[in-house]
């Protein structure tokens, strides 16, 4: 029954799909929606160690191809690493558009990333909205067995390698329209991420002044939601 419209949501590394909760009310009735839960997420550190970038890429491709077989138009919505996984599908011509939140084209960790992670691990987020948003966005539970983290360095090395490959081989081949949002206060994604995104043939790039990697201020949320609604 082609002619329908669909949306594929993909979260980031050690994340979950709750990051998209504020966008769900904007989805028109009749749209088909798929949330991809990447392997190794939603469980403990050992499950994440046993995952792989190859499996994540296969999951996203499977979801996009499956929805494309039924829907004439499919929008890919990603956060962080999810943006990279969807850009690959955009370059293959399988998506009608890409809506990207904090695409990690350049990684530049800030001290606030470590302090927020410490607050979450120690259970002392208090009323800090940024730390609370990070806690809600994390998709891997705290694991007290250090041996269960054996695969984490490799997972992140795979991510860094994928970022490099996407910039060199994929970005310029994404022909569908792209709407990308970067956060001015992002504790992981550097502001220089704008430069690789400028190579996209059809793009709209906005920098959110009051948001971080996981936290979106009320005003910035409105900006994202209004653009999202206009795209659908």
Chain segment 206-232, per-residue pLDDT in tens: 999 999 999 999 999 999 999 999 999
**CA 73 – CA 9 distance, rounded (Å):** 14
Between 176 and 3, where is the model more confident?
176
Dump the DSSP string for the chain.
-BTEEEEEEE--TT--GGGGTTTGGGSPTT-EEEEE--TT-SS-HHHHHT--HHHHHHHHHHHHHHHHTTEEEEEEEEETHHHHHHHHHHHTT--SEEEEES--SSB---HHHHHHHHHHHHT--TT-HHHHHHHHH--S-----GGGGTTHHHHHHHHHHHHHHIIIIIGGG--S-EEEEEETT-SSB-GGGHHHHTTSSSEEEEEETT--SS---HHHHHHHHHHHHHH-
Q: Provide the residue ranges of all domains of the chain, joining segments of one domain with +.
A: 4-110+138-231
Using a pLDDT cut of 70, give the percent of the chain over it: 99
Cβ–Cβ under 8 Å, residues 13 and 21: no
* Residue 183: per-residue pLDDT: 98
pTM: 0.96
CA 121 to chain centre: 22
Q: Tokens 């971080």 — which residue?
A: 212
Neighbours of 22 (CB within 10 A): 15
Six-digit token string for 172: 């310029």
Q: What is the mean pLDDT of residues 101-128?
A: 88
* Fold of the domain built from segment(s) 4-110+138-231: Rossmann fold (3.40.50)
Using a pLDDT cut of 90, give the percent of the chain over it: 88
Judging by beta carbons within 10 Å of its beta carbon (0-12, 13-18, 19+), is residue 188 exposed, middle or buried?
buried
Six-digit token string for 122: 């120690």
**CA 139 – CA 142 distance, rounded (Å):** 10
pLDDT-derived band at 125, boundaries 50, 70, 90 = confident
| Average pLDDT of the chain to the nearest whole number | 95
Between 113 and 68, where is the model more confident?
68
* Residue 2: per-residue pLDDT: 61
pLDDT-derived band at 143, boundaries 50, 70, 90 = confident
* Residue 186: per-residue pLDDT: 97
* Residues found in the chain: 232
Identify the weakest region by mean pLDDT among 24-38, 136-150, 176-190.
136-150
Q: What pLDDT digit, counting tens, does each position of 15-36 carry?
A: 999 999 999 999 999 999 999 9
Q: What pLDDT digit, counting tens, does each position of 47-86 carry?
A: 999 999 999 999 999 999 999 999 999 999 999 999 999 9
* Residue 33: per-residue pLDDT: 97
């Amino acid at each position: 029954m082609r002619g329908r419209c669909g949306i594929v949501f993909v979260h980031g590394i050690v994340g979950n799909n709750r990051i998209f909760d504020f966008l769900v009310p904007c989805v028109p009735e009749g749209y088909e929606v798929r949330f991809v839960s990447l392997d190794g997420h939603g469980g403990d550190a050992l499950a994440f160690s046993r995952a792989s970038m190859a499996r994540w890429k296969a999951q996203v491709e499977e979801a996009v191809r499956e929805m494309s077989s039924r829907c004439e138009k499919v929008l890919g919505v990603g956060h962080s690493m999810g943006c990279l996984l969807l850009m690959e599908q955009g370059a293959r011509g399988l998506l009608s558009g890409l809506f990207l939140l904090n695409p990690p084209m350049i990684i530049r960790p800030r001290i606030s990333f470590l302090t927020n992670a410490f607050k979450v691990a120690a259970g002392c987020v208090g009323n800090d909205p940024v730390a609370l948003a990070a806690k809600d966005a994390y998709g891997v539970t705290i694991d007290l067995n250090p041996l269960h983290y054996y695969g984490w360095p490799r997972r992140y090395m795979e991510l860094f390698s994928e970022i490099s490959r996407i910039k060199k081989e994929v970005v310029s081949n994404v022909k569908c329209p792209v709407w990308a949002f970067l956060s001015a206060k992002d504790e992981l994604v550097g502001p220089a991420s704008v430069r690789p995104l400028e190579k996209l043939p059809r793009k709209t790039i906005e920098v959110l002044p009051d948001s971080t990697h996981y936290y979106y201020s009320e005003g910035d949320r409105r900006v994202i939601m209004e653009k999202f609604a206009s795209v659908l």
